[in-house]
C-alpha cells in the first residue's frame, strides 16, 4: 500500500512536467496545402508562439537590423537571401523564445539551413502536410480575384454570383499570375525539388511526422491528436 502511494505521488509530480515541457515544432507543406490554416489552429489550441520566416524577414527589414539590411540587398537585386543570413535571422528570434514553445513556419528551406538550425536550436518534431498535388492544383487554379479590393473567390466552394464578376462592384475578376495552372505547377515542382531533401534530413533524424489528407478539416484532428501527446492542449477546436 505504501509502495503504491509513493508511486502515485511520483507519477502525479512527474506527469504534468513531462506533458507541459517546452515544445519546438516546425511545420512544412507545399503552397496551397493549408499550412497557414493548420498553423493558426495549432497556435490557438496549444501554447505555441508562431514564428513565420516571411513575417520575420519583413519585420527585420523594416526595423533595419543588421541581418535585415543584409537580406534587403539581396532581395532588391532579385537574389535569394543566403542561408547564413536567414539562419542568423531565425536564430536571433529563437533566442528570445528560450522558455517558450514555438512553431516555426517557412524555415528551413534547404538542408544547410536545417543542419544549422538543428545544431543551435533543435526542433522536437517536424510536421509535414502531405496534400496530393492534384488537389492543390485544383484549389489554387480555381481562385479568382477582384484586383482593386483583393476579394478572392473560388469557383469550387465560394463562387461569385455571376461567373467572372465581382459580387459588390460588378467589375471583372482576374486570375492572378500565381494562380494560373502553369505557374502553380512550376511552384509545386520547385517546392518538391528543394524541400524533399529537407524532409529526408528530418526523416533520418526520426522527428518527421507526416499527415496526409485532402483538406485542412481532415488533417487537423490528426495533428491535434499527435501534438496532444507532446504537450497539453488548451482546448480542442472543432471545425466543420
Is 108 within any annotated ligand binding site?
Answer: yes
Is 107 within any annotated ligand binding site?
Answer: yes
**Is 35 designated active site?**
yes
Is 206 within any annotated ligand binding site?
Answer: no
Residue 20's nearest CA partner among 46, 50, 51, 43 is 46
Is 58 within any annotated ligand binding site?
Answer: yes
Is 216 within any annotated ligand binding site?
Answer: yes
Is 113 within any annotated ligand binding site?
Answer: yes
Catalytic residue among 49, 187, 203, 222: 187
Is 81 within any annotated ligand binding site?
Answer: yes
Is 176 within any annotated ligand binding site?
Answer: yes
**Is 120 designated active site?**
no
Is 211 within any annotated ligand binding site?
Answer: no
Catalytic residue among 15, 176, 180, 186: 176
**Is 187 designated active site?**
yes
Is 181 within any annotated ligand binding site?
Answer: no
Q: Provide the grid cell at 27.
A: 511545420
Catalytic residue among 24, 35, 41, 139: 35
Is 32 within any annotated ligand binding site?
Answer: yes
Catalytic residue among 24, 41, 109, 139: 109
Q: Is 94 left (phi over 0), alpha (psi -120 to 50) or beta?
A: alpha
Catalytic residue among 24, 41, 139, 143: 143
Q: What residues are designated binding site?
A: 32-37, 53, 58, 79-81, 106-109, 113, 143, 152-153, 176, 187, 216
Q: What residues are designated binding site for AMP?
A: 53, 58, 79-81, 106-109, 113, 176, 187
Catalytic residue positions?
35, 109, 143, 176, 187
Q: What residues are designated binding site for GTP?
A: 32-37, 143, 152-153, 216
Amino acid at each position: 500500500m505504501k509502495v503504491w502511494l509513493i508511486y502515485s505521488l511520483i507519477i502525479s509530480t512527474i506527469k504534468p512536467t513531462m506533458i507541459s515541457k517546452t515544445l519546438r515544432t516546425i511545420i512544412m507543406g507545399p503552397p496551397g496545402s493549408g499550412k497557414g490554416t493548420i498553423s493558426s489552429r495549432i497556435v490557438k489550441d496549444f501554447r505555441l508562439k508562431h514564428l513565420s520566416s516571411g513575417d520575420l524577414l519583413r519585420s527585420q527589414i523594416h526595423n533595419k537590423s543588421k541581418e535585415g539590411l543584409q537580406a534587403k540587398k539581396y532581395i532588391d537585386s532579385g537574389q535569394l537571401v543566403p542561408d547564413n543570413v536567414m539562419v542568423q535571422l531565425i536564430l536571433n528570434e529563437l533566442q528570445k523564445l528560450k522558455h517558450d514553445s514555438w512553431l516555426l513556419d517557412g524555415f528551413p528551406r534547404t538542408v544547410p539551413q536545417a543542419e544549422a538550425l538543428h545544431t543551435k536550436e533543435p526542433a522536437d518534431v517536424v510536421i509535414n502536410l502531405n496534400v496530393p498535388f492534384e488537389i492543390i492544383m485544383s484549389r489554387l487554379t480555381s481562385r479568382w480575384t477582384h484586383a482593386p479590393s483583393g476579394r478572392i473567390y473560388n469557383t469550387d466552394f465560394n463562387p461569385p454570383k455571376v461567373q467572372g464578376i465581382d459580387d459588390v462592384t460588378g467589375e471583372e475578376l482576374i486570375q492572378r499570375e500565381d494562380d494560373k495552372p502553369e505557374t502553380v505547377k512550376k511552384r509545386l515542382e520547385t517546392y518538391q525539388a528543394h524541400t524533399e531533401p529537407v524532409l529526408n534530413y528530418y526523416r533520418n533524424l526520426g522527428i518527421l511526422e507526416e499527415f496526409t489528407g485532402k483538406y485542412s478539416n481532415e488533417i487537423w484532428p490528426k495533428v491535434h491528436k499527435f501534438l496532444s501527446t507532446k504537450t497539453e492542449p488548451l482546448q480542442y477546436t472543432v471545425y466543420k
